[in-house]
Amino acid sequence: MRIVAAALLFLALPAWSATPVPACAALCGQWQMDASRSDALAPALDSALAEYKDPRPKRSKDRSDTDPFGQIEAEAERALGPIHDRLGRDDLRAELQLLLAAPQLLRLDARRSDILILGDRNPERRLTPGEPHVRVDAIGTAKIKASWKSGQLLVTETYDRKRAYSETYALQRADGSLLVTREVRRPGMKALRLKSVYRRG
């Protein structure tokens, strides 16, 4: 009799008691940008690039006949042109416009321990908090990390000390909106930070 009673009590428990919390927690769902509360990209780029100077070629090192690596570098410069450590102003603006164009529609979903982020302007990204990975692209090798901090989802992409990109996803308690803060750092440019506000849609 006691066994039967215990079984009935277990079946009477609310369904949510055994349901695991999704990997994206309260951030899960579809979001629509509120343009009136979000930063505009063009003025932010103008401000960040106001004092940016086009790069100068790296100073050539003394290359002797006994330095094979120096000879290879010299041949590369003759074939490809001067070597620079950063982009020209126009190329940098184009790169940042592509990187920072905020999606109008944003969706966060969970698949087991993974978080899926999909925007109408970007391909789907899969992140696993606590499990870093790397991506190789035109800039170099990015070390990508996702983590939770005080209920906020933080995503960082770090190439080196001067090249980095980060996103923070935070639910606003006051009105239930989603605040997405993005920050990018590039050589020769002050850090550029943009905020986008989304409402559930």
């343009």: which residue's tokens?
35
Note every long-range contact of 49-52, with CB atoms under 8 Å and residues 24 or more positions apart, other chains counting. 49/89, 49/92, 49/93, 49/189, 51/190, 52/89, 52/92, 52/188, 52/189
**Cα separation, 154 vs 166, whole angstroms:** 7
DSSP 129: T
- Measured between alpha carbons, how far apart are the two ends of the chain, in Å? 50
Length of the chain: 201
Residues β-bridged to residue 125? 117
Q: Spelled out in words, what is the top-level CATH class assigned to the domain 21-51+88-200?
A: mainly beta
How do residues 114-169 score in pLDDT, each as one tens digit?
999 999 877 899 999 999 999 998 888 999 999 999 989 999 999 988 899 999 99
Q: Where are the domains of the chain?
A: 21-51+88-200
Residues 6+ apart with CB under 8 A from 98: none
DSSP 17: G
144 neighbors 157 (Cβ within 8 angstroms): yes
One pLDDT digit (tens) per residue for the chain, 201 residues: 444 444 433 333 333 334 455 678 899 999 999 999 999 999 999 999 988 888 776 555 555 556 655 565 556 455 544 445 678 889 999 999 999 999 999 999 999 889 999 998 778 999 999 999 999 988 889 999 999 999 899 999 999 888 999 999 999 999 999 999 999 999 888 899 999 999 998
Handedness of CA 4, 6, 12, 16 (dihedral sign): negative
**Cα separation, 74 vs 158, whole angstroms:** 30
**Rounded-to-5 percentages of helix, strand, coil across the chain:** 25, 35, 35
89 neighbors 96 (Cβ within 8 angstroms): no
Handedness of CA 172, 177, 178, 179 (dihedral sign): negative
